[in-house]
Structure 1
């Protein structure tokens, strides 16, 4: 039994060393010799940086009577977004946000997963982001 453990331990160590060797000699050189630096790469988000977009949203679940709009306003303002949100007769919260792509994507994630502490988000629906020339709103407000 002791011999099996010893063989197992040696095999485990062999696998670790083999992985380390492969990583150091195969992966690291590929990353180190890459002609393009990470800052030179142009992805879809870098092309949209600095541009303004607008997007409508509607959040379903337990989102009324749980300070969802107040937390939404606070989150949007902290991300530098402008727009509005309001309760609907159907028990949802809908709104519109304007801003740059990165903060808007962060807000989308927040609306889908976090919300106010006592809310329960079943789903969030977003319109397609449309490029805008300038802001339509001065801040992020709560409509009544």
Structure 2
């Protein structure tokens, strides 16, 4: 059992290190913001998650208890990194991209959700709320 636990911990650390290296390299070398987002959100998230899982396995093997703090950090990391990347990408689209020339056509009537008002709406600004946020008057 000791050998299997050590092998699992070592494999998770190596896996995490490789993914962390690939994610950091992508962050440093990819040309623009939209492609650079993939490095830290995909590879580095898996890398840090693997190292945290290795630490949880070690604590479980060594002390016989589950490390709840590391489990919560891992869950928080896996949930927040993709959401943060989505917000950064939307911010980039709103500040830099011209929807008529820079973005590919979607083939739908509504177009890109970040820019267009849905066709059945009479609101003058895009939002996802069903009730108006402000008083039209």
- TM-score, reference length from structure 2: 0.34
Structure with more of its chain in strand, by fraction: 1
Structure with more of its chain in helix, by fraction: 2
- TM-score, reference length from structure 1: 0.33
RCO comparison, higher one (Cα < 8 Å, 6+): 1
Larger Rg: 1
